[in-house]
Structure 1
Amino acid sequence: MAPTASDSAPVEFHFDPMGRTEDLRRYSPGGYHPVVVGNTFDQDMTLPDNQRRYRILHKLGYGSYATIWLARDQASNAFVALKVTTAESSRAEMREARMLRQLAGAAEGPSTHILTLCDQFSVQGPNGLHHILATEVVVPLLTVLRPETSPRWRKSAARALASGVAHMHASGIKHGDLHLGNLGCAFPELAQQSEDDVMQDLDPYDITVVLPCNPEEQTPSLPAYVLSACNLGEYCRRIRLPERDPDIRILDFGNARFADDPASDIQCAEEACAPEVAFARVALHESKPAWGPPSDIWALGAAIYEIVSGSSLFYGVGIGEGLLDRMVALTGSVPVRWQTFWQSRHARRDIGHSSDSSHEAVDREWARRRDRLREKCADDADVDRLVALLRRILVLEPEKRPTIDEVVQDPWFQVGDNIAAPAA
């Protein structure tokens, strides 16, 4: 059996990055590739360092299955983001690249709201074979969405997101993990900056030396140090031209599948977890629940709510019975296929009907949500149209949700701020 990131991992280090970086123990066979500033990468890694195409400048972020780096394409002098996967997840990242290529080559043309893939290749390292995606640099949406962000900007971002989903679905692809953590904003102003200016204005390097307590565990699997991610959103605010409408990008297609692929081992955040997926996981204990484009529609509704209100409907709940409770509180009706589980759950917990899902209770819940949304909408008519849209989208039965074409034609997107709808 091939080694994995959990095998023979160093247990203790002299210096702890205290949650500011990826888990140091994942620098082991099957895990992260050891990357440091100044490293160079190329499809042909036999080239001398100074002839390889991509040079690492700073860290942009990390996740469970990859580290992401700001790099310079020395062939074009463009800035790019390099996503360097863990060895054990390379298959998923190859699927992501395939989906991005499919979307870029769609019959109706590429969408401006899907992340642009520039290059892809693999490198062999001490921890295994790692897939690398070179993409355009985007700013995480969560870092630029501020309390003072205007209603116009918020609606434009929501509209652009819906446009990107429309392109995905028209291309026969479903995303599976659509939430604000997987959204970014294009940053064309970065191309106007020199490398010297960028490196001076970005956050200084915050370095933690990687030194195992046991000298025998100082192996090539480990980098010499790990680096905290720079705050690209703050840098963007410092150098950006006057505020313009957001140019949204949908990211992270590692969960994406073709629309006619009925079931998969979907790994999604609770904010993006549709009721049919949550119910299959929690009540039926299915590891590969069936899901489809309507699952993206639910996630889109939750994302629109968060873009406008600044707060999440489901973050922190976890994918469990509490998530199902919150979903029912928004909709008021339990699907027929949920009834047996729902009744046994209430009997098991001796709670009777204390989870009030009456129409009156749901109306009260949405009245409370409306008050929160009103602070970020243009006027009363605008928030009423938005609540009507969200209540159309956030229904438990996938077959009762609107299609993405129906969503983008909704009055909330068409009325209220005189912004022309962005091209798909």
Structure 2
Amino acid sequence: MVNPLDYNIGVPAEDLGNYCPGGYHPILLNDRLHDGRYEIVHKLGFGSFSTIWLARDHREQRNVTIKVVVASKSDETARELDILSALKEQGDPAHPGRKHVSHLIESFHHEGPNGRHLCIVLGMLGPKLSSVVEDCPEYRLDGTLARSVSRQLLLAVVYLHSVGVAHGDIHMGNVLLSLPDFEEASLEAIFEDLGPPQIGKVERYDGMPLEPGIPEYLVEPAEYGVEVDEETCEIQLIDFGESFFIADPPKLISTPMPLRPPELVFQRPLTNAAHFDEDQGLIPQFEKVLGGLPQQWIEEAIQAGVFKERPDDSSKEFFRPLEEEIRRSYFDDRNTESLDLTQADLDVLGRYLRRLLVVDPVLRAAARDLLDDPWVLAEEK
């Protein structure tokens, strides 16, 4: 078992302890994958179950993204691969939401010292929306840009539903800016934006050799220097690890708790209406923010043993109704002259979100019906 405390690394990167049998593949810059077709040129990120790399496709002379899955999860990722394949093969190329979803180029397996790794090749991906927000004043997008992003994300969801897929894990970390110019750009031009790769040599403090399966250095994930143009900004929805086919929903998905739809909290069947004992902490918010829960759900959850006792909703007094929360978060302690949305705009937004945030999925607006909502149509003009 690798103990990261035994090592000096030098750059912020993934947990070195995951370079073990069943874990990460030890990738180095300039490595060639898939019979030499893909050359690793930079790192874009990492997660608990994968590392993400920028690679040069020498066959097609373009830049791509490669997700290298840990060996222990490479077989489990088959569902994600099935969904990506379905989107590639069954989606309507003319659908306006298609360009807002990342698409599979191909997949292959790579044998390494830590096991057999699934490699998923996608188009060139840009920065996470969550990272863009961190650089925005007061950590939030400009109102006009946020409105544009919400419409594009809705189009992406409608496209997924047209192929029979529900995403299951939509949040700002899974929404990326699209960088079409980067796909054909030279590496020099990309490095001008990303900066050259920063590496940290991996060394044991005791001077002993590295254990098998540990890379000689780690690469710090790149930081994009892209300036966001609200007039031309386009997004892509990524990461289908929690996605499922609507006709065959799983019993549970691992969506982060704050984003879980009410039916997941009550362990009711999942549907494509899912826009998003510890889950019970969400119930007071459902009560106050969304305006209540079907009492039958609570009774059935108790009878089925989902809840051991009636949920405590006493903390609901600390939450605000949806419309009040929208007004407070947008206007409070801010110079209204610098804001680009009016109270009338927020009223339209509130009515739009009310259609989305309905506890009972049977009564929740379908994504395709929301395309005609005044909030969405106004953004098109």
**Smaller-chain TM-score range?**
0.7 to 0.9
What's the counterpart of residue 321 of structure 1?
A: 280
Q: How high is the TM-score relative to the length of structure 1?
A: 0.77
2:66–2:122: 8 Å Cα contact kept in structure 1? yes
Alpha-carbon distance in structure 1 between the residues aligned to 2:281 and 2:174: 23
Q: Provide Cα deviations, 1:221-278, integer angstroms capped at 9, x if missing partner.
A: 101111110102x2x22xx8x6533222110011111102132441212343112212
Aligned partner letter, 1:290: P
Residue of structure 1 aligned with 2:372, choices 383, 391, 409: 409
Residue 96 of structure 1 aligns to a residue whose secondary structure is helix
Q: Provide Cα deviations, 1:151-190, integer angstroms capped at 9, x if missing partner.
A: 3322111111000100111111111111111111210121
What's the counterpart of residue 372 of structure 1?
A: 329
1:113 equivalenced with 2:100 (yes/no): yes
1:331–1:362: 8 Å Cα contact kept in structure 2? no
Alpha-carbon distance in structure 2 between the residues aligned to 1:17 and 1:276: 45
Q: How high is the TM-score relative to the length of structure 2?
A: 0.85
Residue of structure 2 aligned with 1:331, choices 269, 285, 290: 290
2:51–2:67: 8 Å Cα contact kept in structure 1? yes
TM superposition shift of 1:103: 1.3
Aligned partner letter, 2:39: R
What's the counterpart of residue 130 of structure 1?
A: 117
1:177 equivalenced with 2:137 (yes/no): no
Q: Provide Cα deviations, 1:78-127, integer angstroms capped at 9, x if missing partner.
A: 11111111011112433222212211222533611110211211101111
1:138–1:187: 8 Å Cα contact kept in structure 2? yes
1:41–1:53: 8 Å Cα contact kept in structure 2? yes
Paired residues for 1:62-211 under 5 Å: 62-106=46-90, 108-109=92-93, 111-139=98-126, 140-145=128-133, 146-147=136-137, 149-191=141-183, 193-211=185-203
Residue 144 of structure 1 aligns to a residue whose secondary structure is helix
What's the counterpart of residue 294 of structure 1?
A: 273
2:63–2:185: 8 Å Cα contact kept in structure 1? no
2:61–2:184: 8 Å Cα contact kept in structure 1? no
2:87–2:103: 8 Å Cα contact kept in structure 1? no
Residue 91 of structure 1 aligns to a residue whose secondary structure is coil
Alpha-carbon distance in structure 1 between the residues aligned to 2:308 and 2:114: 46
Alpha-carbon distance in structure 1 between the residues aligned to 2:278 and 2:44: 28
Change (3 A) 1:83 1:138: same
Change (3 A) 1:102 1:266: same
2:174–2:239: 8 Å Cα contact kept in structure 1? yes
Q: Provide Cα deviations, 1:319-366, integer angstroms capped at 9, x if missing partner.
A: 5333333333312313222255597343xxxx8x45349xxx754x53
Change (3 A) 1:412 1:84: same
What's the counterpart of residue 5 of structure 1?
A: none
Alpha-carbon distance in structure 2 between the residues aligned to 1:268 and 1:200: 36
Aligned partner letter, 1:14: Y
1:278–1:319: 8 Å Cα contact kept in structure 2? no
2:64–2:183: 8 Å Cα contact kept in structure 1? no
Residue 56 of structure 2 aligns to a residue whose secondary structure is strand
Change (3 A) 1:37 1:102: same
2:4–2:16: 8 Å Cα contact kept in structure 1? no
Residue of structure 1 aligned with 2:316, choices 341, 355, 363: 355
1:222 equivalenced with 2:210 (yes/no): no
1:30–1:88: 8 Å Cα contact kept in structure 2? yes
Percentage of identical aligned residues: 28
- The count of residues paired between Structure 1 and Structure 2 equals 360
Aligned partner letter, 2:106: D
Change (3 A) 1:213 1:393: same
Aligned partner letter, 1:53: R
Aligned partner letter, 1:104: K
Change (3 A) 1:391 1:74: same
Alpha-carbon distance in structure 2 between the residues aligned to 1:192 and 1:119: 18
1:370–1:387: 8 Å Cα contact kept in structure 2? no
Residue of structure 1 aligned with 2:361, choices 393, 398, 402: 398
- RMSD over equivalenced CA pairs, Å: 2.7
Query: Which shifted more, 59-68 or 271-280?
Result: 271-280
1:81–1:136: 8 Å Cα contact kept in structure 2? yes
What's the counterpart of residue 27 of structure 1?
A: 19
What's the counterpart of residue 248 of structure 2?
A: 261
Show structure 1 runs of 5+ residues with no match. 1-7, 45-51, 281-288, 300-317
Aligned partner letter, 2:180: P
TM superposition shift of 1:59: 0.6
Show structure 2 runs of 5+ residues with no match. none
Q: Provide Cα deviations, 1:389-422, integer angstroms capped at 9, x if missing partner.
A: 112221222222111112222111112x4x25xx
